[in-house]
Amino acid sequence: MSIFDAIGGSSVVTSTVTVLYDRVTADPQLAPWFDGIDLRRLKAHQREFLTVALGGAEVFNGRSIAEAHRGLAITGEAFDALLAHLREIVEDLGVEPDGVDEIIARVAALRADVVTEA
């Protein structure tokens, strides 16, 4: 069974993405990276990405993580803040601790492709 199925599938991924973007756009540390962004489109891409990253059936046709974040000067602190929000959300949604750890590990593994600070 994939982690996607183990955590509850698309309903949990959809809820996670919705709450995540509500939180990061309200977080003064993270909000500036989302100014002027089409959040509806971004949420759709994020749902697709997480579904694939967690072993769901969809195919992700978006840009690579590195390409999507190139030039955004995302700091390590901002990346860590997003991970903290993500952890809290999936815990609040009732994902089992092993599932939470697996989700965080998979996203944390993308750090080098996302963090682009000088």
- Compute how many other C-beta atoms are within 10 angstroms of the C-beta atom of residue 90: 25
| For residue 118, pLDDT beyond 70 | no
Q: Do 29 and 82 contact (CB within 8 A), yes or no?
A: no
Cβ neighbours for 95, distance < 8 A, ≥ 6 positions apart: 7, 8, 12, 103
Q: How confident is the model at residue 7 (pLDDT cuts 50, 70, 90)?
A: confident
Q: How confident is the model at residue 105 (pLDDT cuts 50, 70, 90)?
A: very high
Q: What domains can be seen in the chain, in order of their start residue?
A: 3-114 (1.10.490.10)
Taking only the tens place, the pLDDT of each residue in 68-93 is: 888 888 999 999 999 999 999 999 98
